[in-house]
Amino acid sequence: MIRLTLSEIADRLSGTLHPGTTDAAGGTIVDGPVETDSREIVPGGIFVAKRGDDTDGHLFVGAALAKGATLAIVEHPVDDPIAQIVVADAVAALGELARFVVERVRSTGELTVIGITGSNGKTTTKNMLERILSAEGETVAPIRSFNNAVGAPTTMLRVTDSTRYLIVEMGASGIGDIARLVALARPDVGVVLKVGLAHAGGFGGIESTLAAKTEMVTDLPETGVAVLNADDPRVASMADKTPARVLRFGSEVDADIRATDIAGTRTGTNFTVHAPGEDPAPVRLRVLGEHHVSNALAAISVATTLGVPLARSAAALGTLARAERWRMEVLGGRDDVTIINDAYNASPDSMSAAIKTLAQISEPGKRTIAVLGAMSELGEYSGEEHDRIGLQLVRLNISRLVVVGPEARRLHISAINEGSWDGESVYFDDMDAAYDYLAAEIIPGDTVLVKSSNSAQLRFLGDRLGDLFSW
């Protein structure tokens, strides 16, 4: 974080400063990382004692102090001898502090803020864009999927006076969430990747999801840029809802940034990217799945608006070894067995794309095995979407289906009811039983996809299978 005095922070947060020690006063300067987890504190850090569902951060102020914290932002004074700023709401204070820091850096430097949202692909796109921009200047991007009311401000607070690019991933569980994050970060560039059924149960339907994602572009400045997916009609419809300049990406012929010659293999995804006024550039992604071409185009589109030549963006993307941990992560290798661990998250769109990739990259005569868990947070759409995936598995001739967990059992039933399988689908209540089956069932040359929502935790099963077939 940038250097600020305790008084500056207290004033901005409308909080009350309690120095806590004889050597701390309003003029004391703090500039350490801001954390809400006391275990992540480093010397000089700032601890935000937020209340959680299962515990209360105020109980861990002492632990933060022991690890070297110099300031605690609290909702009531604590007995620990540390400088404290008492605020009405710790999470709101975290956001306001982030807004203050970004405003300060913007006023003195050349900071550009990029916001990214979408039902799928936010983290992958963020990683791709970070890889491109980090070669151009100091870039701050979220760790993992820090994209909510806590994670996004925590990312924003990592900027320094020399930061040139700030990437903010913006997720939502309801209408208004993205608008609040946009108000904090005030993006210069807003990216919308897709409007799908991820978390549709929480939103209350696809139209509510559309309204929530549109919040990314409605408040962009006229000098800003809205980067929109031309292949998604719902995203494309946002073009007339923003005052910003619109840049469209996709495979459509009228997209500004466009991909052609897309080809997926077991080692990655290749395509050619086109942009106005530049020579086409070949892109060699080491990330599996044609659906990641859209994410790459989004990242290239942002970089293009910031003046990065197409060829340089393409070259940078070629150095990205994986999208993210547990996202189309290629494991195994022994006996020509490929394990694709894509079980960090799952929506109908991402599940369908992963299964399509499994079918596409398998070599002739070799088997494909889909190990699937539940897609969560779909509400009233859950049953029909699990049925649709079961149908897709059969129609794409996936060799084996292994369904894990009671919440996903409908997938197994749907595949069987399709009528064209005889014993190719099996069901297990838990991961241990599934692992034992797969350890005996997998043969040389198999390609295995492990996919589920985060709550099903099949990513750990994927890791176990990866270890089993590693060199």
Q: Which residues contact 230 (CB under 8 A, 6 or more apart)?
A: 236, 248, 249, 250, 252, 254, 255
Judged by DSSP in three states, 134 sits in coil
Question: 155 labelled as ligand-binding?
Answer: no
Judged by DSSP in three states, 459 sits in helix
Q: For residue 95, give both structure tokens.
A: 């956001």
Question: 118 labelled as ligand-binding?
Answer: yes
Nearest to 141, CA basis, from 121, 127, 162 = 127
Q: Are 230 and 254 in contact (CB under 8 A)?
A: yes
Question: 50 labelled as ligand-binding?
Answer: no
Angstrom distance (rounded) from CA 64 to CA 41: 6
Q: Are 225 and 189 in contact (CB under 8 A)?
A: yes
Angstrom distance (rounded) from CA 63 to CA 55: 14
Angstrom distance (rounded) from CA 331 to CA 470: 7
Cα angle, residue 446 at apex, residues 395 and 336 outer, rounded to 5° = 150
Alpha-carbon distances, residue 130 vs 3, 137, 141, 233, 386 (angstroms)? 25, 10, 7, 27, 34
Judged by DSSP in three states, 397 sits in coil
Half-sphere exposure of 257 (CA within 13 A, CB side): 25
Question: 21 labelled as ligand-binding?
Answer: no
Angstrom distance (rounded) from CA 180 to CA 182: 5
Question: 121 labelled as ligand-binding?
Answer: yes
Question: 119 labelled as ligand-binding?
Answer: yes
Q: Which residues contact 96 (CB under 8 A, 6 or more apart)?
A: 12, 13, 184
Question: 454 labelled as ligand-binding?
Answer: no
Q: For residue 226, give both structure tokens.
A: 């809205």
C-alpha of 241 from chain center: 24
Alpha-carbon distances, residue 15 vs 27, 37, 83, 90 (angstroms)? 15, 21, 12, 10
Instruction: Give the E-state strand segments of 299-347 in sequence order.
Output: 329-332, 338-341
Binding-site residue ranges: 118-124
Binding-site residue ranges for ATP: 118-124
